[in-house]
Structure 1
Amino acid sequence: MPGHWWQSLRARLEPAPVADPLWRRALLACPLARRLDPERQQQLRRLAALFLARKRFHALAGAVLDDYWRLLIAMQACLPALQQGAASLRGWREVLIYPGEFKVRRSHHDDRTGVVTEGDEVLAGEAWEHGPLVLSLADVQLDLEQPWDGYNVVVHEMAHKLDMLDGPPDGVPPLVEIPRRRWIQQFQQAYDRLVSMPADSHDSPIDHYATESASEYFAVVSELHYSQPTLLRQAEPTIAELLEAFYGRSPAEGCEPPGFCRSR
């Protein structure tokens, strides 16, 4: 008789499929997944089952999680990984869920003066290299209710996770068919264009938060790929092309309304 270790290994390699009633319910609540073609929906269903088998969810600070919400989070987390496959989910295990925005303590070292200051930062999501994926459940719910507004916290943090598969985040995830030099050149040029704009400019749909770093730029435009691809294509056609090659065609094509994104 196979031992417990074998059953555990098999469950990780071949997880039980998501039950039909639960899948149908979650699909109705997730417009991004609902707009995938049937073949990609089935790929997402299998990948979400694998995600649920490999990742450990922890509800913190009074957050309430059930199988339905775990699946909704897994579905959105697996959308950016759909074209990259199961291997892109490697390197971390924990998903931490807060009921709403959460505070983190940051230390800042001023290179000029040598002074270190500390302060709290309020976040809706965070991704650590080799560490947990941290999410606000309220923001996950808002993204499901407003899928075409330019934001998706799960997609944003999963873009960071993909970026960190080959080391510290630098805005360049592992690339297979896309020339790395072209990616770096085009993203650097687009990043520089956004940096040159005033912070209060309305000339681009790309949130100015993307100027924080190359990694944040990649995560922010990944959100636009999944929620407002038409606006992204108008603002940065080459970036839109590269993201479509990396992620596949956006399920938001033809859905997003005109106008820019909601404010962060």
Structure 2
Amino acid sequence: MRFVQSLLAWFRAPVPPIDDTLWQQAVSRLPLVRSLDAPRLHYLRQLAAGFLHTKRFHALGGASLDDFWRLVIAMQASLPALPHGPKAFKGWTNVLVYPGEFNVRRNHYDAPTGVVTDRDDTLIGEAWERGPMVLSLADVALDIEAPWDGFNVVVHEMAHKLDMLAGPANGVPPLPSSMNRREWIQTMQRGFDTLSRQVGRGRKTAIDPYAAEAPEEYFAVTSEMHFSQPALLREAAPEVARLLDAFYGPSPAG
């Protein structure tokens, strides 16, 4: 009841309920949520309804986006929010969905030379501070078909959104009062440094080498593993896995 009251207080208006048939269809297709116990599944439904109520979905590039896919995205975005409630969705409104990979043009400034260059990055997901969450629908669908492979684009981008609640992403999201910020920073930094050394030496790593790009990517990639391949994360970085258990709650993968 406390969860529902916090939802109503946050959204300030009645949240339209999710249609029962549509909900059951989505649950049956999403192994990540089928494994939740009844109270967490009930609260996930409340959070997903609030997500759908407050976020605007935009289908771009010819993407075919219906109620089922909007709900699937909302449910997976709500998984990392389960221990944190509606405040996890603060500060942004739009969800942009492309049919597949999309290109983003970036500017790079080289300080020693003063030269600015443009490049196009091909992505499957992106999250902007106080801006949209951007997703490849093909990869959302792939995550449904292969739920335990360590990858989940919606969870990855939602981890960035949680991180950005405290400002620019740096791998240190706002933590519950039960968690120690210094311990988080030291543990995650050690995990990031270890992976960076392994990648730099050309070693094969259990954690996706992309996590060595930056501390914020390390947090997002290990968040994906927490939900979809926690046993491998516990083997590769047990202290990081322990922190993510405390931050997100038990993994639906067991």
Which TM class, normalised by the smaller chain length?
A: over 0.9
Give distance in 1, aligned partners of 2:48 and 2:13.
13
| 1:238 aligned partner, one-letter code | E
The answer for the alignment partner of 2:143 in structure 1 is 143
The answer for the alignment partner of 2:105 in structure 1 is 105
The answer for the alignment partner of 1:82 in structure 2 is 82
- Unaligned ranges ≥5, structure 2: 1-8
The answer for the alignment partner of 2:121 in structure 1 is 121
- The 5-angstrom pairing of residues 3-82 of structure 1 reads 13-82=13-82
- Give the match's secondary structure for 2:250: coil
Query: TM-score of the superposition, structure 1-length normalised?
Result: 0.90
- The root-mean-square deviation of aligned C-alpha atoms, in Å, is 1.4
Q: CA deviation at 1:47?
A: 0.3
The answer for the alignment partner of 1:262 in structure 2 is none
Cα deviations across residues 123-168 of structure 1 (Å, max 9, x unaligned)?
0000000000000000000001000111000000000000000100
Cα deviations across residues 88-118 of structure 1 (Å, max 9, x unaligned)?
1110000000000000001111122222111
- The 5-angstrom pairing of residues 160-239 of structure 1 reads 160-176=160-176, 177-199=178-200, 200-202=202-204, 204-239=205-240
| 1:240 aligned partner, one-letter code | A
* Contact preservation (8 Å) 2:10, 2:86: no
Greater than 4 Å deviation, 4+ residue runs: 9-12
Q: CA deviation at 1:212?
A: 1.0
- Unaligned ranges ≥5, structure 1: 1-8, 254-264
Give distance in 1, aligned partners of 2:38 and 2:19.
17
Give distance in 2, aligned partners of 1:22 and 1:100.
24
- Give the match's secondary structure for 1:21: helix
Give distance in 2, aligned partners of 1:128 and 1:66.
24
Q: CA deviation at 1:11?
A: 7.4
Give distance in 2, aligned partners of 1:188 and 1:128.
23
* Contact preservation (8 Å) 1:48, 1:71: yes
Give distance in 1, aligned partners of 2:21 and 2:104.
38
Percent sequence identity is: 59
Q: CA deviation at 1:10?
A: 10
Give distance in 2, aligned partners of 1:232 and 1:11.
35
- Give the match's secondary structure for 2:198: coil
* Contact preservation (8 Å) 1:63, 1:99: yes
- Give the match's secondary structure for 1:126: strand
Q: CA deviation at 1:26?
A: 0.4
The answer for the alignment partner of 1:6 in structure 2 is none
| Cα gap change, 1:80 to 1:10, in 2 (>3 Å) | closer
Give distance in 1, aligned partners of 2:42 and 2:66.
22
